[in-house]
Amino acid sequence: MNMQSTDAIPASPAHSFPMNQWWVAGFTWDLKDAPLSRKILNRPIVFFRLPSGEVGALEDRCCHKELPLSCGKVEEGGLRCGYHGLLFNCAGTCIEIPGQERIPSKAKVISYPVKEQDKIIWVWIGATPDDLPTKAPPSYPIHGHPDFAVGGGGYHYDAPYQLIHDNLMDLSHLGYVHLKTIGGNARVHMNAETKVSGEGDVVRLVRLMPDSEPPPTYTAAWPFEGRVDRWQEIEFHVTHVRIWTGAMDVGSGHFDNPDRAGFHMRGFHGITPETDTTTHYFWSVATNPHPDRENAAQTVVEQTAATFDEDKAIIEAQYRNQLNFPTRSRLDIHVDVGPNRARRVIERLINA
């Protein structure tokens, strides 16, 4: 894990985000041979993987002529600037200036702590460069579970990050937005038994739909006998959301059994602000493929991506319209309990 330089240029303002958190910067498969430029919480950062496998995260700016370091190339010892060849290691220190033996002490850039774990790349964003990690990144072992197949991807949203939180914490919209995939009867979704709880910075929401019709994605992936007992369990964390959904034949198990039978989808949703009004959305889905359904896992991944295409269109249209009506108040209804509770967590952390 790389440490930030304590005498580097001060970080940019905090804006509207909780600081001193591990944020998702992407997945293992996003980082290949070339440097990867991403703006995280208004901070331009370049991510790169050395031939040794070590991952670095630096301010995307050379301290010499300010070319983005993402325009350079990865070498054995670090990341070389594409303008005059200054070479920076993962700590942000310049270790070579071509044609010059002496390296000034100020030849350095901000380095961000970064950790690759469970196929997820996490970056620590402190309120200042001195605010180093106080905890390990969240673990997500399902990415390596032998009984699950995993796929995923990423989106760029022209909308603030908390609108995506709202969408994920309220799955009642499935019956209206996702009819062809993971939806189902809209009335059943709107009337689903729902329980909301929380502890610390975590909000949990459980929605149960016993004796209901399985949606198209479910029937394509699993040979149900007919109607199903369906569940949706959502866990909100400040920097990501975990969603466990699935179904089993009616009466074949119990909702309180963590090892219940049937069809399972484990979703990971890394919601990372790019700026105050744009967002990175890194998602994965892990599913238990049925041996009698060929290509079932690929079907689940493809149809999950299709649902996110639909969500993206809805959320970006929603935000554009909010800009059209900046002074109008908005109504809360019963499905807003979970999203509102998550918003209160974010507000408390920002104010702190």
Q: Over range 129-158, report the average pLDDT.
A: 95
Of the candidates 41, 94, 40, 36, the one whose C-alpha atom is nearest the C-alpha of residue 63 is 94
Confidence of residue 231 (pLDDT cuts 50, 70, 90): very high
Give the model's pLDDT for residue 176.
82
Whether pLDDT at 199 is above 80: yes
Give the model's pLDDT for residue 294.
84
C-alpha 346/C-alpha 352 separation (Å) is: 10
Eight-state DSSP code of residue 172: G
Question: Is 3.90.380.10 the CATH number for 144-351?
Answer: yes
Asked if residues 134 and 124 have their Cβ atoms less than 8 Å apart, the reply is no
C-alpha 112/C-alpha 124 separation (Å) is: 6
Q: Over range 38-54, report the average pLDDT.
A: 97
Percentage of the chain beyond pLDDT 90 is 82
Give the model's pLDDT for residue 328.
84
Give the model's pLDDT for residue 9.
35
Give the model's pLDDT for residue 16.
82
Residues paired with 285 in a beta bridge: 151, 267
Per-residue pLDDT tens digits for 69-111: 999 999 999 999 999 999 999 999 999 999 999 999 999 999 9
Q: Over range 337-346, report the average pLDDT.
A: 95
Q: Over range 186-193, report the average pLDDT.
A: 78
Give the model's pLDDT for residue 191.
75
C-alpha 76/C-alpha 317 separation (Å) is: 45
Of the candidates 117, 68, 63, the one whose C-alpha atom is nearest the C-alpha of residue 92 is 63
Percentage of the chain beyond pLDDT 70 is 96
Whether pLDDT at 337 is above 90: yes
C-alpha 333/C-alpha 216 separation (Å) is: 28
Give the model's pLDDT for residue 172.
85
Tokens, residue 117? 């774990």
Task: Please enumerate in sequence order all residues whose Cβ is within 8 A of that of 281, keeping only pairs 6 or more positions apart, or say none.
Answer: 154, 155, 156, 157, 164, 269, 270, 271, 272, 308, 312
Lowest mean pLDDT among 39-43, 59-63, 213-217, 275-279: 213-217
| Max CA pair span of the chain | 75
Report the topology of domain 21-125.
Rieske Iron-sulfur Protein (2.102.10)
- Across 7-11, 244-248, 300-304, the highest mean pLDDT is recorded for 244-248
The identity of residue 302, as a single letter, is E
Return mean pLDDT, the chain. Answer: 92
Give the model's pLDDT for residue 17.
95
Eight-state DSSP code of residue 70: G
Give the model's pLDDT for residue 15.
55
Q: Over range 237-254, report the average pLDDT.
A: 97
Q: Where are the domains of the chain?
A: 21-125, 144-351
C-alpha 266/C-alpha 198 separation (Å) is: 20
**291 vs 12, more confident:** 291
Whether pLDDT at 10 is above 60: no
Give the model's pLDDT for residue 184.
73
